[in-house]
Amino acid sequence: MAVLAIVAAVDVVLLFVMGGAAEDGISLGGLLAASVVTLTIIGAASMFRTASLRTGGGAVAQQMGATPVAEDTTDFNLRRLRNVVEEIAIASGVPVPQIFVLEDEAAINAFAAGYAPSDASITVTRGALNRLNRDELQGVIAHEFSHVLNGDMRLNIRLIGLLFGILVLALIGRKILEHGRFSRSKDSAPLIGVAIGLLVVGYVGLFFGRLIKAGLSRQREYLADASAVQFTRQTRGIAGALKKLAGLPEGSKLANADTEEVSHMLFGEGLKLSSMMATHPPLLQRIQALDPSFKGDALRELEARWSMTPPNGLDEDAAMGLGAYAPPPLPGARSEVNLTPPSVIAQVGSPQADDYRRASSINDNIPDVLQRAARDQSDVIPMLYGLLHAAPGPVRDAQQYELVARTDRRCAEQSLDYADSMADLNPMLRLPLASLAFPLLRRRPRPELQQFMDTVFALVHADGQVDLFEYCLGRLLQTQVSESLDPSRAWVSGHKRLADCAASATTLFAIVAQAGHENPAEAPRAYVAGLARVFPRLNAPYQPPKDMLGALDAIWPELDALQPLGKELLMEGIVTAISHDGRVNVAEAELLRTICASLHCPLPPMLDQPESRLS
**Listing from the earlier edge strand, what are the strands of the sheet with 335-337?**
584-585, 335-337, 610-614
- Strand pairing report for 335-337 and 584-585: antiparallel
Number of H helices, E strands in the chain: 27, 7
**CA angle (86, 92, 93) in 5-degree steps:** 90
Catalytic member of 144, 221, 402, 572: 144
Question: 429 and 366 in contact (C-beta within 8 Å)?
Answer: yes
Per DSSP, what are the bridge partners of residue 584?
A: 337
From 237, 120, 82, select the one nearest 602 (Cα to Cα): 120
| Residues contacting 394, CB < 8 A, separation 6+ | 463, 465
Compute the distance between CA of residue 31 and CA of residue 14 in angstroms, rounded to an integer.
8
C-alpha–C-alpha distance, residues 121 and 55, integer Å? 11
Distance, in Å, from the CA atom of 192 to the CA atom of 183, rounded to the nearest integer, reads: 10
DSSP secondary structure string for all residues of 25-87: ---HHHHHHHHHHHHHHHHHHHHHHHHHTTT-HHHHHHHTT-EEPPTT---HHHHHHHHHHHH
Which amino acid is located at 67 in the chain? T
Distance CA 325, CA 315 (A): 17
Kindly report the number of other CB atoms within 10 A of residue 50's CB atom.
Answer: 17
DSSP string over 174-189: HHHHHHHTT---GGGH
Is 103 known to be catalytic? no
Q: Is the dihedral of CA 594, 474, 388, 394 positive or negative?
A: positive
| Torsion sign, CA atoms 424, 429, 431, 436 | negative
In SS3 terms, 464-521 reads as HCCCHHHHHHHHHHHHHHHHHHCHHHCCCCCCECHHHHHHHHHHHHHHHHHHCCCCCC
Q: What does the alpha-carbon distance between residue 370 and residue 253 come to, in Å, rounded to a whole number?
A: 40
Main-chain dihedrals φ then ψ at residue 569, nearest 5 degrees: -65, -40
Q: Which residues are catalytic?
A: 144
